[in-house]
Every structure is written in C-alpha cells, then in structure tokens.
Amino acid sequence: MQYGLVFAKGDSADFADMAVAAEEAGWDAVFGWEALWGVDPWISLTAAAVRTSRIRLGTMLTPLARRKPWDLASTTSTLDRLSGGRVILGVGLGALHPGWLAFEADQGRKVRAELVDEGLDVMFGLWGGQPFSYDGKHYQVKPTDFELPDPPVQQPRITTWCVGLEGSRKSMSRAARCDGLIPNFTGVAGPEPQPLHRWVGVAREIRDLRDELGYTGTYDVVYEGTADLNDPAGERERALAMADAGITWWLDSDWGSTPDDPIAYQLERINAGPPR
C-alpha cells in the first residue's frame, strides 16, 4: 500500500510548501485537481517537483474530455522529465459543475467518453515517440519531426489512472487499459464512503477484466477518502483491510470542510502522517 494526499485548497506556492512537508512526513504522493478557471495544478506540481526529490506528483483528476491530448502529453512528459519520472496522471470524463458549465457547454456523456478514449490513444502514442499517426472521430494526428522533445522518463508511458464505473464493462475496460483504477460506484453521488465489500468487489472486477482482455503487469486500485485524525489506530486498521482487498493506493482528501485556515488544516493532515 502506498499513501497520498489530495490538496483541495491553496495556490501554487502553498502546494509546493505542502508537498515538501508531505515528503518529510513520509507520504508517497501529492495530488492537485484541474479547474477551468482557477489554480493551474500543473504549475503547482512543477513548483513541488523542483523542491522535492522522492514524492510522486499527480492529478485527481484531469477531465481528459476537455483537454487537447497533445497539449496534455507535452505538459506531463515535460514534468516527468523534470521530476525524474514521478508523474501520475489521473483522468476521467470529468464531473460537471458550475465552474465547468460557466465556460463550456456539456457535449453529452457519450461524446465526453469518446474524447477520453481517443485522448488516451493519442497521449499513449505520443509518449511512445515518433513516427505516430492517428485517425479518429474527434482527433487526427500526422507524424512529425519538428523540434521533437525527449521521451518521458517513465516507459512505456507515464503512469495513468482512469476512472471506471463499477459494473459498467465499457467504463471499466477504459480503466483496464491504463495503469490504475479510480473507482466510481453505481448509485452513489459524490465521495460517499463505501463499505469494504464493495471495494473488494471492484478490485476483483477490474483484475478479472484485465485478465480477460489480456493485459499484464502491475496495476493500481485507488481508494480516496477522508481520514479521521482522531482515530489513527482505526485508520491503520482500515488501511490494512483495504490492502487485503487489493487496494494499492490510499489517498486522503477532504473536499467538504471549510476551515478558517485551509492551509493550516491541510498541514495538520499532512503531519498526521500516512496510516502505516
């Protein structure tokens, strides 16, 4: 089991400070999130990269349906080289919210799913190097030799986690082709905690599907929740149960709290340390 933190608040300088504190406290990764209008997580992750040496750096998550895949491939591979191969890219269709719809109309879930599928194709192809071409419904790419960047440190590609919906073969197949699953549970709105048996089931579902589809290699299943800082022993017990269920990453986040000083609050969570 590895342990990470998702920072819901703070500017890039705050993020870098918190990443340094997290590395010193023994955490394995820190994550930002993408807003259409707000703090750019890739700037925050870059600031963190130059001030840390070990901790991994990622997004939870990037709505790939609204990003040009060549732009995202450039950003992630640049940061991967800068950080020495520490990037984790978390992707999904994206949750619609007022901060999104204020700028862009919803294209519909079907179109967003198509864009994510093609976006993964293009990113994986570009990370693999030239010559690369692609002829999809939404994206077309021609081979190029113009000012080619060096490849990312991580090979054959940057670690990519993808949202998959429990019980949906199409959604879970999308996640199965990536390097990790960020589970969504049917009939659940938002980050509502789920009982252990559902985590056991979704971990089994994705691994059985990967076997069926012929995928090999290590694979992550990602848990995200809000740790109870008043019950460290209980959190350690829950983390062990998650590990036994096949969960490989335990991420602490708190999207709902509104503390007077959100940076101090997040530092408190950081300094509590991972529930090892």
Provide DSSP, 101-119. Answer: HTTS----HHHHHHHHHHH
227-255: pLDDT as tens digits: 999 999 999 999 999 999 999 999 999 99
Q: Would you say residue 95 has pLDDT above 90?
A: no
- For 163, which DSSP code? E
Separation between Cα atoms, residue 21 and residue 247, nearest integer Å: 25
Q: What is the 3-state secondary structure (H, E, C) of 216-231?
A: CCCCEEEEEECCCCCC
For the entire predicted model, the pTM comes to: 0.96
Considering the chain, what is the average pLDDT of its residues?
95
Separation between Cα atoms, residue 158 and residue 144, nearest integer Å: 21
Q: Give me the mean pLDDT over the 142-156 stretch.
A: 96
Q: Strands 249-252, 2-6: parallel, antiparallel or unpaired by DSSP?
A: parallel
Separation between Cα atoms, residue 271 and residue 111, nearest integer Å: 42
Separation between Cα atoms, residue 26 and residue 22, nearest integer Å: 6
For residue 191, the surrounding DSSP H or E stretch is: none
Place of tokens 């056991």: 200
Place of tokens 């949906």: 168
**SS3 state of residue 42:** helix
Share of the chain above pLDDT 90, in %: 90
Enumerate residues 6+ apart whose C-beta is below 8 A from 79: 42, 45, 46, 49, 57, 87
For residue 130, the surrounding DSSP H or E stretch is: none
Place of tokens 């040009």: 68
163-220: pLDDT as tens digits: 999 999 999 999 999 999 999 998 877 667 889 999 999 999 999 999 999 999 999 9
pLDDT at 190: 65
pLDDT at 25: 98
pLDDT interval class at 221 (50, 70, 90)? very high
pLDDT at 256: 86
Q: Where are the beta strands (DSSP E) in the chain?
A: 2-6, 29-32, 56-59, 62-63, 87-92, 134-135, 140-141, 159-165, 180-184, 220-225, 249-252
Q: Would you say residue 149 has pLDDT above 70?
A: yes
Q: How far are the Cα atoms of 91, 210, 212, 219, 246 from residue 169, in angstroms, in the given order?
A: 17, 11, 12, 18, 19
28-67: pLDDT as tens digits: 999 999 988 999 999 999 999 999 999 999 999 999 999 9
For residue 102, the surrounding DSSP H or E stretch is: none
Q: Would you say residue 133 has pLDDT above 80?
A: yes
Joined together, the tokens standing for residue 96 give 């619609």
pLDDT interval class at 24 (50, 70, 90)? very high
Quickly count: other Cβ atoms within 10 Å of residue 18's Cβ: 23
Distance of CA 240 to the CA centre of its chain: 22
Question: Of 4-8, 26-30, 105-109, 210-214, where does mean pLDDT reach its minimum?
Answer: 105-109
